[in-house]
Amino acid sequence: MREISVTLGERTYPILIEAGSLNQIGERFLERFSIDSPVLVLTDDNVARIYLENVQVALEDAGFRSWDYVITAGETSKRLEVVSKVYDFLIEKKAPRGVIVVGLGGGVVGDITSFIASTYKRGVPYIALPTTLLAQVDSSVGGKTGVHHRGEKNVIGTIYQPQFVLIDTDCLSTLPKREFLAGMAEVVKQGAIKNPEFFAYLEHHYRDILNLEQDDLLKTVGDCCQLKSDVVAEDEFDERARHVLNYGHTVAHALEGLTGFRHYMHGEAVSIGMVAAAKVSLAVGKCSADDVVRQERLLRSIGLPTRLEKHFILQLLDHLYADKKRVGDEIMFVVCTGIGSADIWPVKPERLVELLSAI
């Protein structure tokens, strides 16, 4: 098993990565918690059909009492109304402050579950069991929680670290192809902003990853978790250094909000956003044409969309003003400064729309 430490002082926690590790969840709980603590497993209706029973049996075999709560799969569940119903459930069960909340699923489940854990009775233990590629390489690491509100992405949230993250790469074999490809956008992002060697590895091995070759999956997931945990350890509360993880996300979040979180999967929007960000970076002299070509070529080869439709661009402005990285009248836009390197470039939303219109 590969173990990566997210080093945050007293909030330090491990990321545990191994094929088949979901079956070990009972043992991992016994290492950390008293069996007197009840467990809530929150998941969605897609994941529940495949994994919920096995996880609950493993927990109960270890002596833990567990409840489950199943939400509708998809971004439209990231609402306060859904969160409120889970609070109601916990209160009805008289769940104590020692209740352990487990997020079993992808990024939507993880963001909702961790938000609930951070706010129920001012904070209860949270465990992440990510089952999608996007969640395994990105959203399960770093402690960001969030829900959407009034059409804006993750506008309500906290930063709250899990007790541990357990990643079973075997779960990726049950993902629909579109969802797996969407996760690859976050994989490419990690190399594009932080590690040129990893980006080159993806250029040569993306077919092996898409074919679910186990060694390549373990390396890809592990390396992405290591890259992100290094950034999080440097800037846990997203004050500056961590902003680079938002590469491609300014346009992506605006595009998702504009289309009601129904047209694009998050990773698809990120792919479009990365190429747009790379082209803006080239236009303002931050990177080379080759840097843009390599990113666009890799994303297209994987099977991801890369074109920002012109008719969307002017409509993005209101959503850009809602961007969480806006300070005053400027967005802290992440630009490419070469493959494996990124920086923050303050830009007014109107200027960004102008640049996007010209690329």
CATH 3.40.50.1970 residue ranges for the chain = 2-175
Q: What is the pLDDT of residues 283-315, one digit of tens each?
A: 999 999 999 999 999 999 999 999 999 999 989
As annotated, the residues of the chain forming the CATH 1.20.1090.10 domain(s) are: 178-358
Instruction: Give the pLDDT confidence of 242-285 residue by residue, as tens digits.
Output: 999 999 999 999 999 999 998 999 999 999 999 999 999 999 99
Measured CA to CA, the distance from residue 192 to residue 214 in angstroms comes to 23
Q: Domain 2-175: which CATH class?
A: alpha beta
pTM for the model: 0.94
178-358 adopts what CATH topology? Dehydroquinate synthase-like, alpha domain (1.20.1090)
Q: Using CA atoms, how far apart are residues 126 and 120, in angstroms rounded to an integer?
A: 11
* pLDDT the model gives residue 241: 87
Crossing angle of helices 214-234 and 196-210, in 10° steps, is: 140
Q: Is pLDDT at 323 greater than 90 in this prediction?
A: no
* Cβ atoms of residues 117 and 161 within 8 Å: no
Q: Which two tokens stand for residue 56?
A: 């609950």
The three-class DSSP label of residue 321 is: helix
Res. 322: pLDDT tops 90 = no
Residue 78 Rama label (left phi>0; alpha psi -120 to 50; beta):
beta
Residue with tokens 């290591």: 226
Q: What is the pLDDT of residues 80-98, one digit of tens each?
A: 999 999 999 999 999 999 9
Percent of the chain with pLDDT over 90: 93
